[in-house]
Structure 1
Amino acid sequence: MNDWLRHGPVTDGIELVEAFFQGAAYGSHRHDSYAIGLTMAGVQSFRYRSAMRHSLSGQALVLHPDEAHDGQAGTEDGFRYRIAYLAPELLQQVLGGAPLPFVDGGVSSDRRLVRAAAGLLANFDAAPGSMELDDALVDIATALRQAAGQRQLPGGDFRAAHIAREYINDALHTRLTLDDLARASGRDRWSLARDFRTFFGVSPHRYVTMRRVALARQSMLRGLSLADAAAIAGFADQSHLTRHFVAAYGIPPARWLRLQGARTNVQDAPRTAL
């Protein structure tokens, strides 16, 4: 197996990944971000919204936040792809509080979307300048809305959802409840839960979990053991983190580190049933 994975330059709210896989790549998992990418070579196959999808070279991948999907090569030659994971709150800077666009099917040949994705993914070896990044985000947000057509999710209170998200970011190491978020935002707890999903694509609980997984991942990349990374991020123990890591990325932490050439003393844990 010649599988590999590398990351692009770090930009707040955007994660760029390029990878090559033969055979099975990822188990079923979900992100709290948009996943927007391009298949560069081969056939990229994945199960998404109860159907098997196939992306060919030049087609765009558009996976909505919190939608389960897996990944595997569609042929024995394997596939290579580039993908950007975009925080919904980053797109909201362009959308201005509009509901997140939903592009059905996971694979699109829409030329506007393919062109916008290519622009976002072009700067893989050097971080883009501020204005260049802003332009790429405007192109992506505009293309997503156009490709989604008239399909809209119910509206809500964007200001309350934004306050709740900022509260979570500032209090990530504390024990959070939906009542805490409701008091901070001035919105009743159930309306806030609906608003949060409308504008950011995931529930408040899942947003907290994913932020903690991201914190643990940063610790692992700095060389901390999986047990220490779990403790720092607020997980009960190593197995608790591993379960959520597999749910977020589709592979165990040790394999994720090895794919990037990082050294680890953590043994592979068995894949967790989702």
Structure 2
Amino acid sequence: MPSSHWIDLARDHDTGIETLHAHFQGHAYDPHWDDSYLVGVTQQGVQQFHCRRQRHASTPGQVFTLEPGEIHDGTAPCAEGFTYHMLYLDPHWLSGELSGLFDHAPDLHLPSFANTLQTEPRLARAVSQAFAALHHQELRIVRQSALDQLLARLTDRVHWRRRPDPDPRLPQVALRAREYLHAHVHQDVGLQELAVACGVDRFRLTRAFKAAFGLPPHAYLVQLRLATARRMLAAGAWPAHVASDLGFADQSHLGRWFMRAYGLSPAAYRSRCSNLPD
């Protein structure tokens, strides 16, 4: 990691929420997606990123909110870089908590954020207080109270969307390919194999998949494996085992991809999230 970058990561074991405090100058991380809800506040500088096919620029005090699976990157357009803190909210935890807060939460729906960037001081304050309580491992009652305050502010900005049933607007070949990749994430899937499984040639498959999900199949599979690697590492799995289990050539191959997406090595991530030694 360049000396101009620093990352401080922790994990709350009661809720599974990860907290991140970081600073980047220049390029921060490559396009990737997470399987958590991301809620954070830019503290200093300009945090520029692409998401939902738009370029965003988050400035100090602004709140950014991303849903699981949304592709995003990060860069600092200004020489001084940017600093932010953020919570990775576990989807099962968030859905359960919000369902309890809404009197009539619809069945078979997931919480969703209407806007990627928001300028709302009370929400920003709630995010920062929840981050501080969890990141610094305050008393359980303090952590729970801070999270309740955050959820109370988020309910004003959350709407509900149906669970990801097959979207009729997406080509069936892309949906079949995504389902195949999820079912074979631990295997060395080839593009020709994937095309045969979907009943099309690989060129049509790649065009349809990228149009539907924003990434070609090979890049999507890498992101899927990285998201799976995060869960395995947080549970205490060794990086070498994770690399072998997920089809990376070796541990260093996993490490290069992991660093590009998250700014940390797999070993550092494991140590900080599992409280186990490297």
TM-score, normalised via structure 2 length? 0.61
The residue that corresponds to 2:219 in the other structure is none
| SS of residue matched to 1:123 | helix
**Shift in Å, 1:106:** 1.6
Deviations 1:136-160 (A, max 9, x none): 2222233222123xx431379xxxx
Whether 1:153 aligns to 2:161 is yes
Whether 1:102 aligns to 2:104 is no
Whether 1:227 aligns to 2:269 is no
Letter in 1 for 2:30: G
The residue that corresponds to 1:169 in the other structure is none
Deviations 1:53-77 (A, max 9, x none): 0111111111111100000113111
Letter in 1 for 2:246: F
How do residues 110-149 of structure 1 correspond to structure 2 at under 5 angstroms? 110-123=120-133, 126-148=136-158
The residue that corresponds to 1:45 in the other structure is 48
Q: Equivalent pairs: percent with the same residue? A: 25
CA distance, structure 1, for counterparts of residue 224 and residue 94 of structure 2: 16
Tell me which of 196, 214, 236 is aligned to 2:247.
236
Q: 1:147 to 1:242 in 2, by over 3 A?
A: farther
How do residues 1-274 of structure 1 correspond to structure 2 at under 5 angstroms? 1-8=3-10, 10-11=12-13, 12-96=15-99, 99-123=109-133, 126-148=136-158, 151-154=159-162, 210-216=227-233, 219=236, 224=238, 226-231=239-244, 234-238=245-249, 246=257, 250-251=261-262, 254=265, 257=268
Let me know the Cα RMSD of the aligned residues. 3.7
Q: 1:126 to 1:240 in 2, by over 3 A?
A: closer
**Shift in Å, 1:40:** 1.1
| Unaligned stretches of 5+ residues in structure 2 | 100-104, 165-181, 185-222, 273-278
Letter in 2 for 1:137: L
| SS of residue matched to 1:82 | strand
Deviations 1:82-136 (A, max 9, x none): 1110101111232226543322332111233212201211236521322222222
Q: Is the 8 A contact 1:101 1:144 kept in 2?
A: no
CA distance, structure 2, for counterparts of residue 22 and residue 143 of structure 1: 31
The residue that corresponds to 2:212 in the other structure is none
Q: Is the 8 A contact 1:246 1:252 kept in 2?
A: no
**Shift in Å, 1:255:** 8.5
CA distance, structure 2, for counterparts of residue 101 and residue 95 of structure 1: 8
Q: Is the 8 A contact 1:20 1:81 kept in 2?
A: yes
Letter in 1 for 2:29: Y
Letter in 2 for 1:127: Q
Matched residue count: 207
